[in-house]
Amino acid sequence: MTKKLLLFLFALSLFGCKTTTYVQVIETKADNVKIVDDTYVFENDSLKITYNLWRERGLMQFNIYNKLNVPLYIDWRKSSYIDNTFKLNYWEDVERTNALYKSYYFYDLPYNTTASVGNSGTKMVKEERITFIPPKANYTRTKFYIIPRSFIVLDKNGPYTEIPLSNDTQQTTKVFYKEFSKDATPRTFRNFLTFSLTEDFVDEFYIDNEFYISKILEMESKNFYGIREHYTRPAYNAEELPYKDNRYFYINVGERKDEPKAKKVIKVDFDD
């Protein structure tokens, strides 16, 4: 009886459902910016703006370099991030506690520096409305997610390509994708900034950079992350799936249960 029970339990274990997690890599395009080394760059006689979207859910980071020999000013009250047609403010005329302020601006800290958020719950701080950029200096800002909460479900009967598995180049995996024109894209996003060469903004000028989602690729997490889970571009198929291209970002879409796989039937003689 013991032998029969063990064989029965072993047989049951062969028919479990496999759970697979997926990641979507999202490609973007832009109209009024150029591409330099896989990075969006806007440049005029006064300034240079460099964009980096490569974070989970597309946390937009942009760096502003003042090319001039005089100071440059940004008015955040007159600047906005536009998600499709919805305006999001860079600046609000409110005060926050010290802890909330630090948490809110965590991503504005340079080089991903970690900060404590629990020093004081009573000290009030206010956001900077006007930012001063000295001559020949940089300023970096990060605040809004391109896709803050959701993702787009791809049709598994749709088009796909096959690429080598990260741990075995002799095997391949399917990467499903869907392409969008600007008129049919699920999301456009704009960065509208107001600048001046004087602090009173008597003569101000505007920069309006517009982007949109042009392609979504979906793959198994193991192929995206590789054997070691780190967010770097693999050495293989870098052109087909540019993981560390700053014009792309990614989102983890969670688990999906596959159909049970067919198993080889082994005949067992229970009379032995």
Domain spans of the chain? 21-91+128-257
Cα torsion through 36, 41, 44, 49, rounded to 10: -140
> Regarding predicted confidence, which is higher, 225 or 212?
212
What confidence score (pLDDT) does residue 220 get? Answer: 81
| Residue 197 one-letter amino acid | L
Range with the poorest average pLDDT among 32-46, 102-116, 127-141, 165-179: 102-116
Dihedral (CA of 94, 97, 103, 107) sign = positive
CA gap 157, 159 in Å, rounded: 7
What confidence score (pLDDT) does residue 13 get? Answer: 47
How confident is residue 106, by pLDDT bands cut at 50, 70 and 90?
A: very low
How confident is residue 187, by pLDDT bands cut at 50, 70 and 90?
A: very high
What confidence score (pLDDT) does residue 158 get? Answer: 82
How confident is residue 101, by pLDDT bands cut at 50, 70 and 90?
A: very low
> Regarding predicted confidence, which is higher, 129 or 170?
129
How confident is residue 169, by pLDDT bands cut at 50, 70 and 90?
A: low
> Which helix (DSSP H) or strand (DSSP E) does residue 244 occupy?
none
Residue 198 has pLDDT above 60, yes or no: yes
Range with the poorest average pLDDT among 53-57, 73-77, 79-83, 169-173: 169-173
What confidence score (pLDDT) does residue 253 get? Answer: 82
Task: Show Cβ contacts of residue 38 under 8 Å, excluding neighbours closer than 6 positions.
Answer: 242, 244, 245, 246, 247
How confident is residue 168, by pLDDT bands cut at 50, 70 and 90?
A: low
Say if strands 248-257 and 19-30 run parallel, antiparallel, or are unpaired.
antiparallel
Task: Show Cβ contacts of residue 73 under 8 Å, excluding neighbours closer than 6 positions.
Answer: 130, 131, 132, 133, 195, 196, 197, 198, 199, 201
What confidence score (pLDDT) does residue 268 get? Answer: 35
The residue-averaged pLDDT of 90-117 equals: 49
- What is the edge-to-edge ordering of all strands in the sheet holding 59-66? 34-35, 40-43, 47-52, 59-66, 138-145
Cα torsion through 54, 113, 50, 91, rounded to 10: 100
Q: What is the DSSP string of 30-42?
A: ESS-EESSSSEEE
The residue-averaged pLDDT of 147-176 equals: 74
**Residue pLDDT, tens place only, 228-242:** 433 334 434 433 444
What confidence score (pLDDT) does residue 201 get? Answer: 95
